[in-house]
Amino acid sequence: MAEERGAKIEKKSVAGKLTDGATSEDSSKEDVVVACGKTSDGKGMQVVRKRGEELSLGEVRPMVEGKPVSGEVVSLRPRHEQPRVFDVEVQYAGEETTRSQNVAGAGPARVSNRQYRSGWDSIWGKRARRRLMN
């Protein structure tokens, strides 16, 4: 298996930055993923990614036709000397989305102005007021 295509990386959280004192340009451009284990559903891999001097945790999952892409689309090439270490080639950078952005835009727009309410009342009628028994 020389190259795997069609994987996507979903970034979960940033673990930190490397502080080993490496200042060469090659290490700042290096993009490597280390596979740590399977995801809870067994369909992907949990990974640690080193991009330049940043470390991040995430998941790599196969792309499924008809499902939206969240994160980056990457090609992974395994290193010969270490089978769990992959060189990353970004095919599509994707958009950075957070959970709050996804939730805020979910569902239809709220339209509740005076005209909307009067139209609702003309079609469905006004709500009956509750009256107390005593």
Amino acid at 5: R
pLDDT category of residue 131 using cuts at 50, 70 and 90 = confident
Is the per-residue pLDDT at 8 higher than 90? no
Cα–Cα distances (Å) from 31 to 42, 74, 86, 116, 125, in that order, read 25, 11, 9, 53, 62
The pLDDT value given to residue 121: 67
100 vs 56, higher pLDDT: 56
The closest alpha carbon to 55, from 79, 39, 31, belongs to 31
pLDDT category of residue 134 using cuts at 50, 70 and 90 = low
Contact (CB, 8 A) for 32 and 54: no
108 vs 90, higher pLDDT: 90
pLDDT category of residue 94 using cuts at 50, 70 and 90 = confident
List CB contacts of 69: < 8 A, sequence separation 6 or more.
Answer: 8, 63, 92, 94
What tens digit of pLDDT does each residue of 34-56 get?
Answer: 999 999 999 999 999 999 989 99
